[in-house]
Structure 1
């Protein structure tokens, strides 16, 4: 009996000591495996993040005038973006003709250092849109704006098709947002150019609400004629 108890409970060589040793090793191995799994998961997250960064850096920024269509031709804007250098090429006679185009304008709205205003007109064709846009771009004060966001919708008289488009002029997301606003409010045969002079303050999404209110004001003024 004493021999059996010694085999079972001896502190150095007893069975319970050996079982405890195995248990400790098992616990140690479990903790190591858990630690390795956690490290592996963290490495995977870091790798995914790195992959996203690399993809973003490698992604080319394609401008609309660089898009190649299926037939091999280059996409052409119906109303190309007008830079100040382009406006300087418009002749005095052309400017005088543009001055005769009737438009509606809003009062400026100032928010957190940024200033907004809008100009709009009733239009029946893409050529009308081009002329209103050019009229805005040759104005010296409008030329100083950071962005001149163009948005328009036309219903063609011959087939009833709606022609609509926008140009953000580096105000990312603004043109799409304003076009959707015009669609939802059934604003048609109208072109609006929203001008923004940026201040030092960060205005955030509030800028879209201001722009939409200016489009609404132009549409109401045009409808009241």
Structure 2
């Protein structure tokens, strides 16, 4: 699993993005469990993810309402199928409002750029 850590910081909140090839919801959940074996990720406030499969789109907001849909839209634009993308957030004590969606987009963009290189 490719992980880009400490990529965004805003008002105390910190973000990371991870991903790996993945073909099903069960496989995605297994990859999330693997990611959360790292204590730092297990203690994260949100591990939001999205995945496009042959069966259709799958997402999990993990309490960060709407963030999974942001990830799915970006995967659809890139036509990236069978690849799990997870955006992790550690809440810093201040609400970010709509900026949190921009940060999710930026995190996914950084991940997609890293895949291309």
**TM-score of the alignment, normalized to the shorter chain, above 0.5:** yes
Cα distance between partner residues in 2 of 1:125 and 1:223: 23
Higher helix share: 1
* 2:50 equivalent to 1:151: yes
Matched positions, count: 116
Cα distance between partner residues in 2 of 1:183 and 1:214: 16
Counting only pairs closer than 5 Å after superposition, residues 201-212 of structure 1 correspond to structure 2 as 201-212=94-105
Report Cα offsets for 1:17-46 as digits up to 9, x if no partner: xxxxxxxxxxxxxxxxxxxxxxxxxxxxxx
Compute the displacement of 1:118 (Å): 1.1
Larger-gyration structure (1/2): 1
Q: Is the 8 A contact 2:12 2:94 kept in 1?
A: yes
Cα distance between partner residues in 1 of 2:113 and 2:82: 13
Unaligned runs of 5+ in 1: 1-102, 155-160
Which residue of structure 2 lines up, in the alignment, with residue 134 of structure 1?
33
Cα distance between partner residues in 2 of 1:123 and 1:201: 34
Normalising by structure 1, report the TM-score: 0.47
Q: Does 1 or 2 have the higher relative contact order (CA < 8 Å, sep 6+)?
A: 2
Cα distance between partner residues in 1 of 2:68 and 2:29: 16
Unaligned runs of 5+ in 2: none
Which residue of structure 2 lines up, in the alignment, with residue 105 of structure 1?
3
